[in-house]
C-alpha cells in the first residue's frame, strides 16, 4: 500500500512498506534518479528514506554551509538588502558583463 505524506518542510513523500519497496525497487530507483521523488520505506523495526544521490549531496552541502559561523546571518542580511533595493550590479562587482 502506498500513501502520500509530507515532511515538516512540505516535501512530498510516498510512504510504503518494505515489501512493496522490494517488489518495486527498480522503479523506485528510477523515480528518485529521474524525478527527484522521495520515498519513506517502513518496516516493523524502523523506517528509511530513499532519495536521489543529487538530492542527498544537496542536503549535505546545505548542512555544511549552515554549520559555518555567521553564514545564516549573512544570508538573512543579503535577503534584507535585496528586499530594500540595496544591491550592486554585476558589472560594478566584476567590472564587465558575463
Structure confidence at residue 41 (pLDDT): 95
Give pLDDT tens digits for 14-28.
999 999 999 999 999
Please, are residues 28 and 50 in contact by the beta-carbon 8 Å criterion? yes
Structure confidence at residue 87 (pLDDT): 84
Nearest to 14 by CA among 3, 23, 22: 3
Domain ranges of the chain: 2-54
Structure confidence at residue 5 (pLDDT): 54
Nearest to 56 by CA among 42, 41, 38: 38
Radius of gyration from C-alpha coordinates of the chain: 20
| Residue 8 pLDDT greater than 90, yes or no | no
Give pLDDT tens digits for 53-97.
999 999 899 899 889 899 889 888 988 988 998 888 888 888 876
CATH of domain 2-54: 3.40.1620.10
Q: At 54, give phi and psi (nearest 5°).
A: -60, -45
Structure confidence at residue 27 (pLDDT): 93
Amino acid at each position: 500500500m502506498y500513501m502520500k505524506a509530507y515532511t515538516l518542510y512540505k516535501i512530498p513523500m510516498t510512504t510504503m512498506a518494505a515489501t512493496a519497496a522490494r517488489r518495486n525497487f527498480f522503479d523506485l530507483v528510477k523515480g528518485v534518479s529521474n524525478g527527484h521523488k522521495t520515498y519513506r520505506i517502513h518496516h516493523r523495526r524502523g523506517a528509511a528514506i530513499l532519495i536521489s544521490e543529487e538530492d542527498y549531496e544537496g542536503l549535505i552541502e546545505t548542512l555544511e554551509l549552515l554549520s559555518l559561523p555567521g553564514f545564516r546571518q549573512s544570508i538573512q542580511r543579503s535577503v534584507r538588502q535585496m528586499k530594500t533595493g540595496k544591491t550592486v550590479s554585476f558589472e560594478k562587482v566584476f567590472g564587465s558583463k558575463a
